[in-house]
Chain A
Amino acid sequence: MDMNEKPKVEEKAEEVAEAPRLPNTKEGRLVKAILEKAPYAEGSIRRERRVEFKVPADRIHEFLEVASEKFEILIQITTVDWLKEGEFELVYQLWSVSESVHAFVRTRIPRENAEMPTVMDIWPVAETYEREAHEFFGIIFKGNPRLGPFILEPREYEKHPFRKDFNMIGYVKMIYGEDFDRYDESKTNYVI
């Protein structure tokens, strides 16, 4: 009995000392394992099967390389344009097939001359996601050879329509003129 009890006490003491806020669940252990290798990141658990990391932009490639050992699939790269803060938020969403956990990896970069290193060498599928983010938001992913017109027409390239300051109605009026002018019932609001 004594033999069994001793190690238990030691384990508990270790957990409290190292990571007091991470519970001893599969998510907690996963976050802990990654944070040990990447101490510059912040990690937290959102809920069951959802974890979150915040990483500085200059170390994102390094971090994703560490994370790719546990998370096999890069689900998507979402760009959110925070116009007031003057920043783009890039959310790399990962899925771990072995652990069944979804992870958000968040980083922020300035809107002006936004540049990021590519993660194509870790997940080749990032090529598609980065092409899309480049076309819609104008972020340049260094090392991706296929940045250029992808989904949009060539004349719309470099207009970056998904940015919050893109004048959508103005663009529609410019391209289609009065042919497609539509107003709501009160004739005051222009609707697309």
Chain B
Amino acid sequence: MEKVEVPRELREEARKHDMYLHPIDKDTYELFFGPQHMATENFSIILKMDGNRVEKAIVNPGFLHRGFEKLAEQRPYFTNIALLLRICVPESDVPENIYSMAVDEIIGWEVPERAIWIRNVVLEMARLSAWMFWIMGFGNEIGLYTPGQWAVAYRERFLRLFEELTGGRVYHIYTVPGGVRRDIPGDHWLRQLRDTVEYLKSKLKDFDEILFDNYITFERTEGVGVMDRKFALKHAVTGPNLRATGVPYDVRKDDPYYLYDQLDFEIPVLKEGDSLARVLVRRYEIEQDLYILEQLLDMGPPSGPYMVKDPKLKNLPRFKVPKGDAYAHVESTKGDFGAYVVSDGTHKPYRVHVRGPSQSHGVTVLEELLRGARLADVPVILKTLDNCPPDIDR
């Protein structure tokens, strides 16, 4: 490429002041990556490029800010479920559950066993459908479109099950403080769920052949976006991204909720810390999640009520919660997802603060990992970190 003749002193002076908006020479320019790019999902990164290399990346979030935390302070406790679940789009059951768990803890309710079993099954189904969605996103970024189309078709099976259980496909508004809103529709639903799990299990080897054990995947991800264990801990990276650096931290094992302390499953851990390790950790987790769902189905739903019995529940809009605060968190496919709820004794929460995992791995970590990467690797790093912009904006 031909270079424009610019005196060297001038160029150095401009770099000192971070001036890249107007190209100084033909190789240095500022690139707005997203929000219209498929990989970024309503999120934007300003890349300062030197040729094909990223010299500096600045994350520019805010396209999805809807002020959920502020709105939650204006609404009654039960109405907030329909609002807060929109914080995590691909697995909307996670915000429902953390909020309900925190409110349960403040009130001191003992959620019935049947409700806990249903909540646990719903969370695992949400994880699996989110994994399927991730396979589509990741496959598309490296040019493998077929596994994505399969994955979305398999996700559809879970969405149908969700629709029969909750009435909604993507947003369920199902888990509420004290239990769940409806009972399981019947034994046929459990049979369908088992069929789906077995079907997906038989299809995993197809994904291996075409995506996880593919030469293209290895070429595109090996050694890209490497972070080590110390860096990941200091930057509060959680979930599969942390486990790919060799730290076996999983909320389901370390701070068990629901039935996870009775279930038998493993935490896949790899040490490399690059994009390939992050992809493979996710591959092993899909297998573990299928195994967990199978165990839950073997256990069977305990009999009993699916909602706490409390006379105060008759007047939901005026339902008051005692003074107190609680923090609850679950393991989502993106990482450690938590909610901190403060109550001042009225019928509206005083403060709700949601901790999305992308808040930590989608801002500073992303900026660090993108430095020095090739332009073509930017979507790969984004997708292997599994960045979810609504977590950051909220």
Looking at the complex, which one of B70, B234, B327, B393 makes contact with A151 (CB distance below 8 Å)? B393
Q: Let me know if A151 and B359 touch, CB within 8 A.
A: no
Q: Let me know if B336 and A75 touch, CB within 8 A.
A: yes
CB-CB < 8 A to A168: which residues of B? 70, 74
Q: Let me know if A78 and B351 touch, CB within 8 A.
A: yes
- Contacting B at CB under 8 A, from A44-77, are 49-50, 72-76
Residue of A nearest to B247 (CB): A97
Q: Given A125-B234, A150-B61, is A80 in contact with B350 using a C-beta cutoff of 8 Å?
A: yes
- Can you report 14 residue pairs joining A to B where beta carbons are below 8 Å apart? A75-B236, A75-B355, A78-B351, A93-B355, A95-B336, A102-B255, A124-B234, A128-B360, A151-B62, A151-B392, A151-B393, A161-B70, A168-B70, A192-B71
CB-CB < 8 A to A73: which residues of B? 233, 236, 238
Per-position contact with A for B361-394: 1 when CB-CB < 8 Å, else 0? Answer: 0011100000000000000000000000000110
CB-CB < 8 A to A74: which residues of B? 236
Q: Let me know if A80 and B342 touch, CB within 8 A.
A: yes
| Other 20 A-B pairs with CB < 8 A, given A76-B338, A78-B340, A151-B65 | A75-B236, A75-B355, A76-B340, A78-B351, A80-B351, A81-B351, A91-B340, A93-B355, A95-B336, A97-B247, A102-B327, A102-B329, A125-B235, A127-B364, A128-B364, A129-B359, A151-B61, A152-B65, A162-B70, A192-B71
With a 10 A CB-CB cut-off, give which of A104, A127, A128 has the most chain B CB atoms: A128
CB-CB < 8 A to B355: which residues of A? 75-76, 93
Q: Does B69 contact A (CB under 8 A)?
A: yes
Q: Let me know if A152 and B62 touch, CB within 8 A.
A: yes
- Contacting A at CB under 8 A, from B246-263, are 247, 249, 254-255
Interface residues of A (CB under 8 A from B): 49-50, 72-76, 78, 80-81, 91, 93, 95, 97, 100, 102, 104, 123-125, 127-129, 132, 150-153, 161-162, 168, 192
Q: Does B186 contact A (CB under 8 A)?
A: no
Q: Does B172 contact A (CB under 8 A)?
A: no
CB-CB < 8 A to B143: which residues of A? none
For the complex, give the distance between the alpha carbons of A91 and B350 in Å. 14
With a 10 A CB-CB cut-off, give which of B254, B342, B393 has the most chain A CB atoms: B254
Q: Let me know if A49 and B327 touch, CB within 8 A.
A: no
Q: Given A91-B340, A97-B249, is A125 in contact with B70 using a C-beta cutoff of 8 Å?
A: no
Looking at the complex, which one of B336, B353, B359, B360 makes contact with A78 (CB distance below 8 Å)? B353
For the complex, give the distance between the alpha carbons of A151 and B364 in Å. 14
CB-CB < 8 A to B185: which residues of A? none
Q: Does B67 contact A (CB under 8 A)?
A: yes
Task: Kindly provide the distance from the CB of B240 to the nearest chain A CB, expressed in whole angstroms.
Answer: 15
Q: Let me know if A93 and B327 touch, CB within 8 A.
A: yes
Per-position contact with A for B69-87: 1 when CB-CB < 8 Å, else 0? Answer: 1110010000000000000
Per-position contact with A for B302-344: 1 when CB-CB < 8 Å, else 0? Answer: 0000000000000000000000000101000000101010100
Per-position contact with A for B219-246: 1 when CB-CB < 8 Å, else 0? Answer: 0000000000000011110100000000
CB-CB < 8 A to B61: which residues of A? 150-151
Residue of A nearest to B352 (CB): A78
Q: Let me know if A161 and B67 touch, CB within 8 A.
A: yes
Task: Kindly provide the distance from the CB of B352 to the nearest chain A CB, expressed in whole angstroms.
Answer: 10
For the complex, give the distance between the alpha carbons of A104 and B238 in Å. 18
CB-CB < 8 A to A161: which residues of B? 67, 70
Pairs of residues from A and B, 3 with the lowest C-beta to C-beta distance, nearest first: A100-B254, A125-B236, A76-B355
For the complex, give the distance between the alpha carbons of A72 and B249 in Å. 11
With a 10 A CB-CB cut-off, give which of B234, B236, B351 has the most chain A CB atoms: B236
For the complex, give the distance between the alpha carbons of A172 and B238 in Å. 36
CB-CB < 8 A to A102: which residues of B? 255, 327, 329
Residue of A nearest to B350 (CB): A80
For the complex, give the distance between the alpha carbons of A150 and B60 in Å. 7
CB-CB < 8 A to B233: which residues of A? 72-73, 97
Residue of A nearest to B65 (CB): A151
For the complex, give the distance between the alpha carbons of A72 and B336 in Å. 14
